[in-house]
Structure 1
Amino acid sequence: MKLKTKFTLLVALCTFALLGSFYQLSKHSAERTFLAFNKQSAVTFGHTLLDDDLVEAALADKAFVNPEATLTFLSATFPEQLFIWRDTKLTTSAKTLDPTLSIEYEQVKSGHQFSIHHPGVAAFVVQFNEVQHELAQNEELFWLPKVLLDRSFEKEALQQAMLDDFMLTLVILSIIAALLAWLGSWYFLSPLKQLKRSFKAIESGELDTRLALKRHDEVGEIISSFNNLAAWLQGLHQQYKQMNSDLSHELRTPLNGIRSRLEAMEDGILPMDKAQLAVIAQDLHNVNRIIDDLCLLSLTESKQLTLSPTQVNVSELLSALLVRYQAQAQEQGVALTADIQAGVTATLDAGRVRQIVVNLLDNAFKYGADGGIVMLHLHYQDNELVITVTDRGQGMSPTQLTQIFERFYRVQASRHDTSSLGLGLPICRQLAELMGATLTANSTENQGASFTLRFSRLT
């Protein structure tokens, strides 16, 4: 069953239940109204009931040829009364002059009961404790005020009319409610239909599909989330396309070099000496480095990398790294400066911290050497350890700054970077998150870049 149909049925059912309750309450209220009306307009039997002596006096010394004649005379004499004639030989029938009425008789323990039927209304039941007048053998006469019968029929007709009106109103309101529910479901679910079509487009490879955000309710939030998801998928797809290109290039170059060199050795073009083997070994090292970076990134993203935290003197760790880069700094004409707080110790994975800082320093020398300064900063205060690597190089644009931690992203367009696969910074950020730290970057074009590794709430 469609969601739209379910929504319509649910709203219609709730509306029908409410209207049904309204119908029952209205019916009960109408009955109470009729009861109050009857009490206010009750007929006093003492004034409306006809005395038996008056009927006997009117019939005295008179003979009638048939029951109809008797009823005609009495109705003319007492027009406010309804007279009923009955033959005791007939079990259930009785007669009256009014052709619109049909009367059924029933013998009950407490007397005589008549059911008076009028077309379109419920039967009026009247009971007599005894026969009011005996006309002759096997003939009985009963009477009652017509006003009682008229009021009863009027009440029944009015009540039936009200019930019919209530029922008609219930049906009309139910139809209107169902129509409104259908229109409401169409209005609320139409964005979901668009969303469904957009998902189909995404499945078909149309990753640039977006929905116009015209609402600011929950549906608008879903549409916004879809647009964000589509943008993320499109970016991820582009990254993987770039990854395939990069991997093909990065792996093909050293492997082709190894194959060509080996073939040249076999043909005797190149000598099989240590120099040639060293070149092959370097190419194999580059292939292994790419594979190791991919494996490490996979482990960090899946949270399967095992850390080995120990009590580490971070000040000594960073000072030792500075010694490693002194020769490179002199060679490139870069001033390598440090502001390392002494005696800083913390429980960390020393190997992973070293790996992150080495990657940051490598990037600083690679991209910021033209600025002439690379700085390493260590600060520890209030149980927070902060390591910062800063350069004064070309810096990055805001767009580049938002993408540098994405896997396989390289800023080669602006920096002519052909020596990196774009996995270093994503690996560093994943390692930082595994250790409960954060790695952030700040940069302004032509003013250098700064990377900050921050450990909070150290144990």
Structure 2
Amino acid sequence: MRIGITGKLFMAIFATCMLVLITMHWGVRISFERGFIDYIKQSNEQRITMLGDALEEQYRLHGNWAFLRNNDQVVYRIVRSFEQNSDSSHNLPPKGWRSQFWIVDSQYRRLVGHSGPIPKESTRHPIHYNNQIVGWVMAAPPEKLTRNADINFDRQQKRTSWLIVALSTLLAAAVTWLLSRGLLAPVKRLVAGTHRLAAGDFSARVAASGQDELGRLAQDFNHLAISLEKNEQMRRAFMADVSHELRTPLAVLRGELEALQDGVRQPTPASISSLLAEVSTLTKLVDDLHQLSLSDLGALAYRKSSVDCVHLVHIAVAAFRERFHAKGLEIVTHLPEQATLFGDADRLNQLFNNLLENSLRYTDAGGKLEIGIEPLPEGLRIYWQDSKPGVSDEQLARIFERFYRTEGSRNRASGGAGLGLAISQNIVEAHGGTIHAQHSPFGGVRITVDFPVTLNNKAS
């Protein structure tokens, strides 16, 4: 039989309670027994002192011990007189002697008392006459209880003590069981939620009842479940988008090749160029997917050094200028003479090319693109802002998602595969920077990239 964590916690707390309870019971019993014996000892000492004082008066009256020798009744009458007057004058403890006592003369000859031997460690009180000790009142030390009344009282206290122990044990068991179940209820909810999560149910959530460690653990579990659910949705969307992007060019290639095979079309330079265009589209998509997977894994090689961003932007603009001119788009730059940062020149060039390609595809003919570099207190800002068409706030929030394109037709000729901005975001983050999109003052989209570097700018 396997004991669960509830049973283990119950046994641990209950065992601790029982250990404390038994220790307290043992300590109380020892304290009571010793205290009761000390009480009896003090009672006897008080009675011995009073008896000794009374015998001193009798000795003055008689001048010797002849009145007491072999006459125990004299002592008993004195003791009874003490007990009768205890409430009013003497303030004695409860009635009765708790131990044996003796009265002896100065030579330790027994006058009154038990016939047995007198213990050496007995309690003694001297009897004086004319500044001399004429006798002693002696009592046996109360090492244990001897009177029936005292023994019965001790037994009653012992039974009461064990009854309290039994009731306390039942109470401790009940409280410990409820406490262990209450403490482990959040843990059980987490265990059930973890089993659902492990089985693939990413909608599993647990109630976070409290702000303690278990409450924070439940909140972290819910955050983890939300992240896994979001990642699962992204994975499914990613697979659907990849299959969609691959299906269309492959279908076009198959149709073109079947047409050539059936003789419907002739292998002319135009048909071959069409096939090469579709192959180029597939190659570009596969390359983008490869680059994206490498950047996600952190496997992209970055050889960072001090580079001039202005020079890299000029190279990228020069490569795209003819294509922009063919579409009727104007490129305006606001660049300093030099802007140095620590980065990988090839990856930064890839970043700039992706941003230029994005503006080229989405900006209407006759519009313009403005590129600028601005110094920051502790870094460098590069911005791209183009003209119409614009995008909605919802589209801005998703613009860096994979395979997301703002136009609804999903036309590959204008929209590409939707991976360029996702790759750009990974490149920026690999350089310790941030990238975000907002509305452009020209009616299009403004992409802002901030790099944490120290600038050395000279105004152009």
Residue number among 336, 354, 358 corresponding to 1:359 in the alignment: 354
Residue 273 of structure 1: aligned partner:
268
Deviations 1:88-117 (A, max 9, x none): xxxxxxxxxxxxxxxxxxxxxxxxxxxxxx
- The aligned amino acid for 2:39 is F
User: Does residue 375 in structure 1 map to residue 370 in structure 2?
Assistant: yes
Partner Cα separation in structure 1 for residue 218 and residue 181 of structure 2: 17
- The aligned amino acid for 2:293 is S
Shift of 1:435: 2.4
* Structure-to-structure mapping, 1:86-165, within 5 angstroms: 128=117, 152-165=147-160
Deviations 1:362-415 (A, max 9, x none): 2234345489442212123555122122234455545444443343444455x7
Shift of 1:352: 0.6
- Do the aligned partners of residues 54 and 216 (structure 1) sit closer, same or farther apart at CA in structure 2, a change above 3 Å counting? same
- Do the aligned partners of residues 401 and 341 (structure 1) sit closer, same or farther apart at CA in structure 2, a change above 3 Å counting? same
Shift of 1:307: 1.0
Residue 6 of structure 2: aligned partner:
4
User: TM-score, normalization: structure 2?
Assistant: 0.69
Shift of 1:422: 3.4
* Structure-to-structure mapping, 1:434-445, within 5 angstroms: 434-443=430-439
- The aligned amino acid for 2:185 is S
- The aligned amino acid for 1:12 is F
* Structure-to-structure mapping, 1:14-413, within 5 angstroms: 14-42=16-44, 44=47, 47=51, 128=117, 152-213=147-208, 215-369=210-364, 372-393=367-388, 395-413=390-408
User: Does residue 454 in structure 1 map to residue 450 in structure 2?
Assistant: yes
- The aligned amino acid for 1:128 is P
Residue 83 of structure 2: aligned partner:
none
Shift of 1:319: 1.9
* 5+ long unaligned stretches in structure 1: 59-73, 82-125, 131-143
Shift of 1:171: 3.4
Shift of 1:287: 1.6
- The aligned amino acid for 2:117 is F
Shift of 1:40: 2.6
CA contact (8 A) 1:312 1:350 kept: yes
- The aligned amino acid for 2:451 is F
- The aligned amino acid for 2:423 is I
Partner Cα separation in structure 1 for residue 388 and residue 158 of structure 2: 89
Shift of 1:32: 4.5
Partner Cα separation in structure 1 for residue 394 and residue 20 of structure 2: 58
Shift of 1:39: 3.2
SS in 2 for 1:375: strand
Residue 429 of structure 1: aligned partner:
425
Shift of 1:79: 12
Deviations 1:330-355 (A, max 9, x none): 44444432221211223321111111
- The aligned amino acid for 1:324 is A
CA contact (8 A) 1:341 1:380 kept: no
Overall identity of the aligned pairs, in %: 25
Shift of 1:174: 3.2
- Do the aligned partners of residues 368 and 278 (structure 1) sit closer, same or farther apart at CA in structure 2, a change above 3 Å counting? closer
- The aligned amino acid for 1:267 is D
- The aligned amino acid for 1:259 is R
309-318 or 261-270, larger mean C-alpha shift: 261-270
CA contact (8 A) 2:341 2:453 kept: no
Residue 71 of structure 1: aligned partner:
none
CA contact (8 A) 2:387 2:440 kept: no
Partner Cα separation in structure 1 for residue 376 and residue 362 of structure 2: 30
- The aligned amino acid for 1:293 is D
* 5+ long unaligned stretches in structure 2: 53-65, 80-114, 120-137, 456-460
Residue 137 of structure 1: aligned partner:
none
CA contact (8 A) 1:347 1:458 kept: no
- Do the aligned partners of residues 18 and 297 (structure 1) sit closer, same or farther apart at CA in structure 2, a change above 3 Å counting? farther
CA contact (8 A) 1:384 1:455 kept: yes
Partner Cα separation in structure 2 for residue 5 and residue 446 of structure 1: 70
Aligned residues: CA RMSD? 4.1
CA contact (8 A) 1:34 1:155 kept: no
CA contact (8 A) 1:376 1:387 kept: yes
- The aligned amino acid for 2:448 is T
